[in-house]
Structures are given as C-alpha cells and as structure tokens.
A and B are shown apart, each in its own frame.
Chain A
Amino acid sequence: MENNKKTFYQEYEVFSKRTPSSAFQHQFSLLAPNAEMALIMAQENFMRREPVADIWVVNRLDIRALAPEEKQILNRLDNKDYRTTKGYGYLKKKWRHYEQKMLDEKEILSWAGGKDK
C-alpha cells in the first residue's frame, strides 16, 4: 500500500511541436496518475499561451536512459578530424595564397633573371 501510494503519481515527459511540419521538441515533465491525465495537464500547464500543433506524453519509466556508469559509452578520443567534413570552404583561401605568391617580388625578379640568361 505504502509503495502504491508512492507511485500513484508518475513522471511524464512532454513533447510538442509548433507547426505540423516541425520536429517534436522536449518541453518539460509533469506528474500525473496516467497518460490521459498527463495529456490534459500538459495542454493547460504549458501550452495555453502559444500555438501548438501536436503533443506527446511519455511515461519516464518507458524511457531507456543511460545510467551514470553507462555514460562511459560516450567517451572518445579527440582525434577524429579526418571524419568531420568541413566542406570546401578553405579552398578559396588556399587559392588566394597561391595567387598572391605568384605575383610577389621574388617571382617577378626570377622572370627577369630568366630573360638575362
């Protein structure tokens, strides 16, 4: 009985989206005895002032989360530069670098030297 009492209210995680095409976003959590109650509470508690296109409520117990010790699976070395695509934005800079080099003093003099010979 004591145990029942403790779990009468359960934690629900509430997700909502602002427009039909946007993604669901986690908003907050609340206490309710079941999903139906959680749904009617979610609407008035947190979404009464803004437009909402849809709502999900999920019992926290149904979420498989990481235990503190399991967070070790997130550890990784910081040497994965080669895996990250940075696009080709750097090419412009590189090109300019070579363009500049082409017209520097040394380069021009070297042309003259070439003529002397």
Chain B
Amino acid sequence: MSEAAKTLSPEFKEALVELLFQLADDDFFFAYRGSEWLGLAPHIEEDVASSSISQDSMGHATMFYTLLEELGLGKADDLAHARSAHERKNSILVERLNGPGHYMEDAQYDWAYAVVRNCFYTQAKKVKIDSLKQSAYGPLAEVAVKVNMELYYHLLHWKTWFVQLLSTTEEAKARMMQAMDKVMSDFDDVFSLGHHAEQMKQFGLIEEESVLKEKWTVALARIFESLDLEIPRKVNPQSQNGRNGEHTKELEDALSTLGEVYNLDPVSPW
C-alpha cells in the first residue's frame, strides 16, 4: 500500500475506490471494443491510428487499476481480468457491441456508431479528466494530468471524423444520425457516479454529475453549431445503470472473450 493510501478515512477510501473502478472499467472496455476494430477500419491509415488510440486508452485503464492496486485492492491484472460482470462499474455505452457479427468473421461493424461513440465518450472523458486534475486524492490528480496529455489528440481525431462524416453525403449523415440515437439511448450512466456520488462530491474527488454533464453539453454544442445541427436529446431514460453493476449480456460475452487466455492459468506470468 502506498504512503498516500494509509492515511485515508474508510469513507473517503470507499468513495475513491468506487470512482477508480468506474474510470478503470470505462477505459478498459472502451479500449477493448476499439481493439476489435483492428484490421476492419475503413482504411489502413485509420486502422493504425485508431488502434493506437485504443492502446493509449488501455494504458489509461492500467493507470487507474494500478491506483487501485496501491490502495490494496489486489493486483491490477486481476482487477482488469478476473472481476465478473456484476462487479463492473463501467457505463453501458462502452460495453456495447461494435455491430453484428464477430471480429474474426462476418464482422458487420458500424463505423458511424464507432465514430459517434468514440467522439461523445472521449469528450465526456475529457470533462472528467479536467475535473480530476483538481481531485482531493493527489495520486489520482497526477494520473489525470498524464492522461490529459494524450486526450487532446484523441478528441481531435474523433471530432475530425465526426464533423467530416456529418458534412459529406446524405447517406453518411443519415447513418450518423442513426448512430447518435443509439449512442444517446445509452448515455444516461456515462455521467452517473453511482451510489457514492454524494460522498465523491463531498470529499472533493470529482465534480458532481450535473456539472460534468453541463460541461459536456457546452463542448458538444460548439461542434453542433458549426454543423448547423441540434444536439440529440434523449427520450427514454435508461433502465440499467452500469455504475451500480447492472450490465447487458454484451459485457458478459466481452469478458469471456478478453479473459479467455488469462483465465486458462491466472498465476502464469504471460
């Protein structure tokens, strides 16, 4: 356990652990879904570029899992691979499939969905990371500063795709609008902080949900204004909240695939 972790009050630590699991699991599955696109992206340059972003994001997840390891929660590898679906604190959005089919065969992934999900998620991540730079937990604030260095490019990348696909052909625009509806129907819990939201705010770990959501909306509004479009509004509230361990079958399937090798022999150093 690190020096910083030893002096924390139990309530503070409980809220902190909860927040770290949300951040770690979010980036873990976001990166995993991104990695499934390897070899399938629209052209070779984008394949390399987006895969590199996925690797960066997995690196961010690793930093958050490592903070949990330092708090005595267990090994980072186990936290990433060996926790079951109901223990996961990621948002539903990042666990969603890329599209029908399997990445090894018959993949009919939807690039419009990827662009919208990645753009909206990365903007949300940027808002959270900016807030975490002032977090009351020093080691988390330090990680936020590091993650932020790579986020500028990630956001620029997905915004560029987003704006360009929405300003080309009618077909591209129609597909993007459809993808936006799908992404927005899963967006409720992206800014949810779960059961410990109140404590997180009270301890100064991160700003409250409504503040983060508002900053995200303002940032997106700038993009939508430039395109002369309205920000899509959510209609139906989401029935599940990933922050509370409620997930879809898509997460269970993802877990069994990405943990396949690890679970063969968890004590083996791969």
Contacts and interface: CB of A to CB of B under 8 A. Distances in A.
B156 interface: yes
Given A30-B45, A44-B157, 5 more contacts: A32-B45, A40-B156, A40-B160, A45-B48, A45-B49
B233 interface: no
Contacts of B45: 30-32, 41, 45
Interface in A32-67: 32-34, 36-37, 40-41, 43-45, 48
B53 A44 contact: yes
Contacts of A40: 49, 153, 156-157, 160
Nearest to A45: B48
Contacts of A33: 164
A33 B53 CA distance: 20
Interface in A62-95: none
Contacts of B160: 36-37, 40
Contacts, number: 34
A34 B46 CA distance: 13
Contacts of B53: 44
Contacts of A41: 45-46, 48-49
A36 B52 contact: no
Interface residues of B, number: 14
Interface residues on A, range: 10 to 19
B52 A44 contact: yes
B118 to A, nearest CB: 13
Given A9-B43, A31-B43, A43-B153, A36 B164 contact: yes
A14 to B, nearest CB: 11
B49 A44 contact: yes
Given A36-B160, A36-B164, A44 B43 contact: no
Contacts of A37: 160, 164
Nearest to A30: B45
Contacts of A44: 48-50, 52-53, 153, 157
14 contacts: A31-B44, A31-B45, A36-B164, A37-B160, A40-B49, A41-B46, A41-B48, A41-B49, A44-B48, A44-B49, A44-B50, A44-B52, A44-B153, A45-B45
Between A9, A30, A32, A40, the greatest number of chain B beta carbons within 10 A of the residue's beta carbon is seen for A40
A48 B53 CA distance: 10
Contacts of B46: 41
Contacts of B44: 31
